[in-house]
Homo-oligomer: A and B are copies of this chain.
Amino acid sequence: MVEFTADPSHPRYASLLSRHKLEKAAEQGLLAESALIAHGRGEAYDYLLGEHTSDNAREATENALAHLKAAKRPVISINGNTTALAGYELLRVAEFLNCPLEVNIFYRTEQRINALLSHLENIKSKHNIDVEIFGREPNSRITGLKGPRAKCCHEGIFVSDVILVPLEDGDRCEALVSMGKTVIVVDLNPLSRSSKKASITIVDEITRVAKNMVNMIENHKDIEINIGFDNLKNLQKSVNIIASNYSEI
């Protein structure tokens, strides 16, 4: 692994740092085989979005945090890429919300789940964060899904009313919505199936989203549920940003 030495003044520093984090996570066995390819797809969309948080993404993030705060059983579900990119920040958010975090991965192996759980436990003890983490022994299933990717923890995802589940695939997003949950996804492609099916979609990069949430919490920002929030209208604004960045040579 080459050490990360990019200059912080480099215009694409954040993107290069994320790439480095993912490569390191792959070496540590935190990621599935397809994780780096998925990250690359995200990079392409983020580039088209200008690699910053748009106004509509910030609006969606605030609304998401307000829903999580108001929830009775909120939960944050994270996969390998999310753990590698924003594990620390999301543990901070979970601590503030007093909610559990569930490691829930599509391609589950014991080795990988253990690597992810110890990675998160290390962050917890290093930063003295008190959050319950589920995922080692999934004892329940997401209704309507077949096979191993239906697996979840009863006290985590299953009983939740509001779920923050970044980087989710379309099928699972749809199934969670059908269970009556408020489903918040983070997805850089505003036209993906997850983006369109979720209750609230934050079209932004997960590291920025998690940092924005931590900032909102630390600054005691007065956040209220936006009852007029229209997810498709919010998505259309991100589509427009991409279209306007992609018009001429």
Give residues in A with beta carbon < 8 Å to B.
Answer: 1-2, 19, 22-23, 26, 33-34, 36-45, 47, 189-191, 196, 232, 235-236, 239, 242-243, 246-249
Besides A43-B44, A44-B45, 17 other CB < 8 A contacts?
A2-B33, A19-B34, A23-B37, A26-B33, A36-B40, A37-B39, A37-B40, A37-B43, A40-B40, A40-B41, A41-B43, A42-B44, A236-B248, A236-B249, A239-B247, A239-B248, A242-B246
Query: What B residues does A190 contact at CB under 8 A?
Result: 249
B residues within 8 A CB of A45?
A: 44
Bound-complex Cα distance A19 to B45 (A): 18
For the complex of A and B, 10 pairs with smallest distance between CB atoms: A40-B40, A44-B44, A36-B36, A37-B40, A41-B44, A40-B41, A23-B33, A36-B37, A243-B246, A41-B43
- Please tell me which one of the listed residues B36, B189, B196 contacts residue A44 in the complex, with CB atoms under 8 A apart: B189
**A39-B40, A40-B38 are known contacts. Are A249 and B239 too (CB-CB below 8 A)?**
yes
Chain B hits for A232, CB < 8 A: 249
- Please tell me which one of the listed residues B2, B189, B246 contacts residue A239 in the complex, with CB atoms under 8 A apart: B246
Q: Can you pick out 11 interface pairs between chain A and chain B where the beta carbons lie within 8 Å of each other? A: A1-B33, A19-B37, A37-B39, A40-B40, A40-B44, A41-B44, A232-B249, A239-B246, A239-B248, A239-B249, A246-B246
Find the B residue at minimum CB distance from A18.
Answer: B37
Copies of this chain present in the complex amount to 2
| B residues in contact with A33, CB < 8 Å | 1-2, 23, 26
Closest to A232 in B: B249
In the complex, what's the smallest C-beta–C-beta distance from A218 to chain B, in angstroms? 31
Docked pose: A58 CA to B189 CA in angstroms: 28
Closest to A43 in B: B41
